[in-house]
Chains A and B, each alone.
Chain A
């Protein structure tokens, strides 16, 4: 069957299946199981209303459990076992972790990830804040925001191609077609550099791609926060003689600190999962390895599920503080 047809069929089956499930399960509950009539009408209505939420939740809970919760446990198990021939596995304790810790490539990935964690959220938030503050003050601010926001719609792979052209290097006797080398030569550089194969700087240049994408996100959130600042606080500061920089740093920034933290942590999570950019641009060569790509290498190139799962658990471990913090905040909010 043609995949497009299959897709259409899936939409129809999926959508009508969902609606059918919800409709008929509700009907069954109300008409057959606990009918709202007869001597037990009142009790039946109460019982039906106790069960109904779970009818509404069931498909979502099944999917969440199977596709997100179960894998966390299963990955933990896999990271502690070794795959044996014939679909068997044996418990090996922390051997996979030990092996991983003995690999220089892992430490390189971890070190790079830490660098990403320091640089990308900081720069994205900084540029986002700058763009938000500037665009709120000019009449064409919305257009400016749209354009800075646009990279959010571009895939990491597409962005990788876009930036690879920027970093492109041609032999010295030819015109440079990559902007970076053209500028480098123009400002007196001696020879075009192969930026993506130069350790340290190549990692930074990969980070630039993610900063370029994430700045729009930071800008949108921070811009909304800036607009939410009560006007009086700013007026008071201006009357007291604060200059625009003081107003920004001493009045506005402290008031949106909560939002800045949210933006920072959200981008941190994106950074921890970063895979496509490295995969498409350097594939972890020339000392640009990051955890997610290291994990992909282990899982699907080396076919080593044990070490692959162990490195996935490291990513999970790094995400956990943010997870706990988010859950804590939401629980506080709901009380």
Chain B
């Protein structure tokens, strides 16, 4: 448009900035969850994810080694060690010996213990407790420190949600169940729809226009209506709840869009090719398999990505047709909803679970975006 105006519009900067703001606004929530899934439980609970790159100041309640570790040295009883776990890089600023006074002393100073004796805490967590009498009791002295920890990221959340076989809240099983639902539910409707779409696009028969209208009508029928009648039907024919049921249901629900998309695409294929093939003696079946199907690849891909996203992300159909009381066939969306109920505040669990389920469709999205856009453009009823 700039070329038309002849000069750079004074709005150009405003456009750049508003678009940038819009994009950041749209990305922000997702990035938040992604970052959270790589943070430790403590960090998620105590600071916002947007602070994850800056050192965080937190209060810790830590314990010195128990009295049994004490050694006698120069007539004094000494317990020495480091308050932090190995590998933690934290810098203590202030500390105290009771929960009411957590900032009595600066790091490096020596403080008085209430039961007698002194304790010195260094910034790096090294401490030295001294007393002329022996320390008694079974547990170590509690120390309250305020420390600054550097940014820390971990893959532990993913390891425990995906690889830990003892974790019954894990996502591994649900991941494979989702995959098992998705792939047949994506492939089967394509084939059925392709034949029907060919008939609706290139074969002449009475009632064709009516059938197209029928398909367009079904396009918007809410699948909520289908739940009970089909569940009843599945029970009556002995299918019950299970994979076969959910595959059939997804096939049925996906067909209107599939037929509509493919028909619209096939109608646009050049008439000459098809008529030439007919003159050469090809049957409809041969024309379909050898000419139409390969030429329709973009439309097939469009529908495939739609159906994949829809079946992968689906919750309702899986709840109704697949997941029985044993929960063996749970899918990821259902698993996440359960975690939302039971682990509502444990964001490391929730964020990781959600990202395991989001990752695959997002990867598909970026690989096949072209076809998704084409499908959307062709699929919205004009």
Binding site for B on A (CB under 8 A): 3-4, 6-7, 10-11, 14-15, 18-19, 22-23, 26, 30, 49-50, 52-54, 56-57, 59-61, 63-64, 66-72, 74-75, 78, 127, 130-131, 134-135, 137-138, 141, 144, 146-158, 160-166, 168, 174-179, 182, 212, 215, 217, 220-221, 224, 231, 234-235, 238, 244, 258, 262-263, 266, 269, 272-273, 275-276, 279-281, 292, 295-296, 299-300, 305, 308-309, 312-313, 315-316, 319, 322-323, 326-327, 329-331, 333-334
Q: Is the CB of A224 within 8 A of B228?
A: no
Q: Mark B168-186, 1 if CB is under 8 A from A, else 0.
A: 0000000011011101100
Q: Is the CB of A305 within 8 A of B213?
A: no
Pick from B26, B188, B218, B376: contact of A14, CB below 8 A.
B188
Pick from A26, A75, A263, A309: contact of B380, CB below 8 A.
A263
Q: Is the CB of B336 within 8 A of A161?
A: yes
A212 to B364 alpha-carbon distance, docked (Å): 19
> What residues of chain A lie closer than 8 Å to B5, measured between beta carbons?
238
> What residues of chain A lie closer than 8 Å to B193, measured between beta carbons?
60
**Minimum Cβ distance to chain B for residue A54 (Å):** 7
Stretch at the interface among B15-23, B97-105, B128-136: B15-23
Is B377 engaged at the interface, CB distance under 8 Å to the other chain?
Answer: yes
Q: Is the CB of B230 within 8 A of A71?
A: yes
Q: Is the CB of A30 within 8 A of B283?
A: yes
Q: Is the CB of B313 within 8 A of A56?
A: no
**Minimum Cβ distance to chain B for residue A262 (Å):** 5
Do A52 and B203 contact each other (CB < 8 Å), given the known contacts A10-B244, A334-B212? yes
A323 to B15 alpha-carbon distance, docked (Å): 38
A147 to B31 alpha-carbon distance, docked (Å): 11
Chain B interface residue count, Cβ-Cβ cutoff 8 angstroms: 120
A11 to B309 alpha-carbon distance, docked (Å): 18
Pick from A18, A75, A273, A327: contact of B192, CB below 8 A.
A18
> What residues of chain B lie closer than 8 Å to A67, measured between beta carbons?
226, 230, 248-249, 251-253, 255
Q: Is the CB of B27 within 8 A of A147?
A: yes
Q: Is the CB of A175 within 8 A of B47?
A: yes
Q: Mark B211-240, 1 if CB is under 8 A from A, else 0.
A: 111111111111111111110110000000
Q: Is the CB of B218 within 8 A of A68?
A: yes
Pick from A56, A154, A215, A322: contact of B30, CB below 8 A.
A154
Q: Is the CB of B226 within 8 A of A137?
A: no
Q: Is the CB of A153 within 8 A of B309?
A: yes
Q: Given A157-B313, A178-B48, A330-B216, list of 12 further CB < 8 A pairs?
A: A3-B180, A14-B184, A19-B191, A26-B284, A53-B199, A56-B284, A67-B252, A137-B12, A153-B362, A155-B333, A281-B340, A312-B225
> What residues of chain B lie closer than 8 Å to A266, measured between beta carbons?
380-381
Q: Is the CB of A165 within 8 A of B222?
A: no
Q: What are 7 contact pairs spanning A and B, CB under 8 A?
A: A57-B195, A72-B221, A148-B26, A156-B315, A162-B33, A275-B315, A316-B225
Q: Is the CB of B329 within 8 A of A151?
A: no
Q: Is the CB of A6 within 8 A of B361?
A: no
